[in-house]
Amino acid sequence: MKSADWEVLTRATEWLNDGHTAHLFTVIQTWGSAPRLPGAVLVVRDDGHLIGSVSGGCIEDDLADKARQQVLPEQPSIMEYGISQTEAQRFRIPCGGRLQIFVEPLVDAAQLAPILNSIEQRKLLKRSVNVTTGQIKLANVLPEGLPRMEGDWFHTYFGPQWRLLIIGANQLGSVLASMAQVLDFDVLICDPREEMQAEWHVEGAKWVYGMPDDVVLEIEPDAHTAIVAVTHDPKLDDMALLEALKSNAFYVGALGAVKNQEKRRARLRSFDLTEAEIAKLNGPVGLNIGSRTPAEIAIAILAELIQVRSQQQKMGINVVENIRCTA
């Protein structure tokens, strides 16, 4: 399953190949309760057809009108919405929110080809566009943060900025791996059981061979990594958790009922883990939404990952805002 960016840019490529022109819009920054996060993309065709989103729909309508009237910028530039309270109300931006959007004309499918190639290869691409000259620079990078303006350059990112290591190639692991890729996670799978490896058929997920604890150490989890153990076999799940809880992973979770989690925490205390490290364990894993089937459990897990990830992103945005206000 492909990410939302892939769907948007693939459709835009088809339009360009059919002889249309278009504009690519990317959210640079938001203030207040803006509907979409920085990095959200929208492509508007010359006749007003559009795919993607930078808001709840009101700004899209305005951009489509501008496309039909042929008044969108002919050079890379920056647009802002919600600058005044009147404008915020006109475009129905909640709570007086404000959006800063980078707009770039598209005339050739070759402009999007490197982005799609990077997404398909599940590599993180940094794309930098010069507002003055239109020059484009591309570089494969490690996660660097949110899109931003830096002088005359607009830097944005395509491809997975987040990793998910799943311990367990069972049915739940398969469903979780498929769904997580749509949310732009780079999915890694570990399961030392040969029978599980033989039956694994999820496209896009990367198999990492080895025992769970060794694999966790091998991938060097950082603040953009989540680790979820779903084998339901303590011998395998606990091996991963022993290393995962000591790592910098932003999320560590394990499948199992409340009583089993209590037993697991008791086992973990017999190893060289501190109480603070054990407290990082999310177990039972996922939000409590009454899920029972593998698909429902996968949704609950991903919902909690999104919640934790969003909290981290919000903290990062707030830090940037504080720096800006005190500069």
Contacts of 42 (CB under 8 A, 6+ apart): 8, 24, 25, 26, 50, 51, 52, 53, 54, 60, 63
* Pair 131, 169 in one domain: no
Give the torsion sign (CA, 298, 301, 305, 307): positive
Contacts of 29 (CB under 8 A, 6+ apart): 38, 99, 100, 146, 147, 148
pLDDT band at 110 (very low <50, low <70, confident <90, very high): very high
* Pair 108, 187 in one domain: no
Q: What are the tens digits of pLDDT across the range 120-150?
A: 887 899 999 999 999 999 999 988 888 999 9
Here the CATH number for the domain that contains residue 263 is 3.40.50.720
Is there a contact between 227 and 167 (Cβ–Cβ < 8 Å)? yes
* Residue 300, pLDDT above cutoff 70: yes
Q: What are the tens digits of pLDDT across the range 143-162?
A: 888 899 999 999 999 988 78
**Domain region containing 238:** 162-308
Q: Is residue 299 part of a domain?
A: yes
* Pair 174, 304 in one domain: yes
Q: Count of domains in the chain?
A: 2
Averaged confidence pLDDT in the chain = 88
The domain boundary residue, chosen from 141, 158, 175: 158
Beta strand pairing call for 22-31 and 136-140 = unpaired
* Pair 166, 199 in one domain: yes
* Pair 151, 172 in one domain: no
* Pair 154, 190 in one domain: no
pLDDT band at 26 (very low <50, low <70, confident <90, very high): very high
Write out the two tokens for 227. 């680790």
Q: Is residue 30 part of a domain?
A: yes
The reported pLDDT for the residue numbered 326 is: 41
Q: Is residue 320 part of a domain?
A: no
* Pair 108, 73 in one domain: yes
Write out the two tokens for 28. 């640079």
Q: What are the tens digits of pLDDT across the range 229-249?
A: 999 999 999 999 999 999 999
Helices 258-268 and 234-244 pack at an angle, to 10 degrees, of: 60
* Pair 8, 154 in one domain: yes
Integer Rg of the chain from CA: 22
* Pair 260, 127 in one domain: no
pLDDT band at 98 (very low <50, low <70, confident <90, very high): confident
Q: Is residue 222 part of a domain?
A: yes
Range 194-203 average pLDDT = 90
* Pair 146, 272 in one domain: no
* Pair 139, 178 in one domain: no
* Pair 171, 125 in one domain: no
Range 19-43 average pLDDT = 88
CB neighbourhood size of 238 (10 A): 18
The reported pLDDT for the residue numbered 146 is: 86
The reported pLDDT for the residue numbered 169 is: 96
pTM of the model: 0.74
* Partner residues linked to 76 by β-bridges: none
Helix (H) or strand (E) holding 22: strand 22-31
Of 46-50, 84-88, 102-106, 120-124, the least confident: 84-88
Beta strand pairing call for 98-106 and 153-158 = unpaired
Q: Is residue 285 part of a domain?
A: yes
The reported pLDDT for the residue numbered 319 is: 39
The reported pLDDT for the residue numbered 321 is: 41
Peptide bond into 284 cis (omega under 30): yes
